[in-house]
Amino acid sequence: MNFVPYRKDIFPLEDMVLRRALALDVKDDDWKAINAMLAPLGAKPKGGVYHRDHSYRVGLLASEIAAEAATDTMNVFVSGKVLTPIKALFFAGLLHDVGKALVPACTLCATEKWTDEDRKNMEPHVLDGFRMLRDRFDFTAHVIVWHHAFQAGGYPKELPAALQPFSEETLEKAKEYGKLLMVADVFDALHRVNSATGGVALTSEEIKTRMLKLHPELLGDLVSRLYEKGVLR
């Protein structure tokens, strides 16, 4: 799996994720649960480690995007506690692809143009992830269902029923978080060399050009602001 690193962290990726978890005061049992959910993905043959590391990077980047783009009005009240956008997006970024543990390795590792069979194999990962998070990370589950929903031919076509009696406002915030998660997911994915990049590594300027075209009708000037602030670079 060819990937062009873009993060300039001084610590290894796993250490950076742990440091972010500690900085956000993630509870020990939540942290153990997150790692247990990511373990099957990392254990997948061939491309599993890439997709696990993709989840690490998206978790870091999504939380950084939230720190820049979100406001206190986007806090949510979940299970009797306030969940900040930064922590919510950290969780969602780490867990957005856990459903890929059920995707055949031949699809996960594909670098050539995808077939209809590959698309058929990949699409269930969103709802599979939703079900895997159920009863442990219910709000996060409602965030991750959006990370492919905005693209052309997006999925899932129908949203799952609420896992708790969440208010409409809370579910709307999950959608807003889903937009920020999408930004992090797409940015990281553009650093992978595959058919979507023409089989060559994109330059940072080429990636920026593509990112600036990412759903301006949904994101407004968010992407340009993230570049101005150095969150994307």
Q: For position 196, which CATH number holds? A: 1.10.3210.10
Q: One digit per residue, pLDDT tens: the chain, 233 residues?
A: 789 999 999 999 999 999 999 999 999 999 999 999 999 998 887 778 999 999 999 999 999 999 999 887 889 988 788 899 999 999 999 999 999 999 988 888 776 677 888 888 999 999 999 999 999 999 999 999 999 999 988 999 999 999 999 999 999 999 999 999 999 999 999 999 987 788 899 999 999 999 999 999 999 999 999 999 999 99
Question: What total number of domains does the chain contain?
Answer: 1
Exposure of 144 in the CB half-sphere (CA atoms within 13 A): 31
User: Looking at residue 74, what is its pLDDT?
Assistant: 87
User: Looking at residue 60, what is its pLDDT?
Assistant: 98
d(C-alpha 147, C-alpha 12), whole Å? 26
| DSSP category for residue 230 | T
d(C-alpha 46, C-alpha 77), whole Å? 40
- Quote helix, strand, coil % in the chain, to nearest 5: 60, 5, 35
Render pLDDT for 135-194 as a digit per residue (tens, 0 to 9): 999 999 999 999 999 998 899 999 999 999 999 999 999 999 999 999 999 999 999 998
d(C-alpha 20, C-alpha 31), whole Å? 11
User: Looking at residue 48, what is its pLDDT?
Assistant: 81
Q: Is residue 1 situated within a structural domain?
A: no
Instruction: Classify residue 215 as left (phi > 0), alpha (psi -120 to 50) or beta.
Output: left
Q: Is residue 233 situated within a structural domain?
A: no
Q: Is residue 3 situated within a structural domain?
A: no
Q: Is residue 4 situated within a structural domain?
A: no
Domain that holds residue 207: 13-228
Q: Is residue 129 situated within a structural domain?
A: yes
Q: Is residue 104 situated within a structural domain?
A: yes
Q: Is residue 7 situated within a structural domain?
A: no
User: Looking at residue 111, what is its pLDDT?
Assistant: 66
User: Looking at residue 84, what is its pLDDT?
Assistant: 93
d(C-alpha 65, C-alpha 46), whole Å? 30
User: Looking at residue 114, what is its pLDDT?
Assistant: 73
User: Looking at residue 152, what is its pLDDT?
Assistant: 87
- pTM of the predicted protein model: 0.95
Q: Which residues 6+ apart lie within 8 Å of 174 measured at CB?
A: 76, 139, 142, 143, 146, 166
Q: Which residues 6+ apart lie within 8 Å of 211 measured at CB?
A: 183, 186, 187, 190, 223, 227, 232
Q: Is residue 2 situated within a structural domain?
A: no
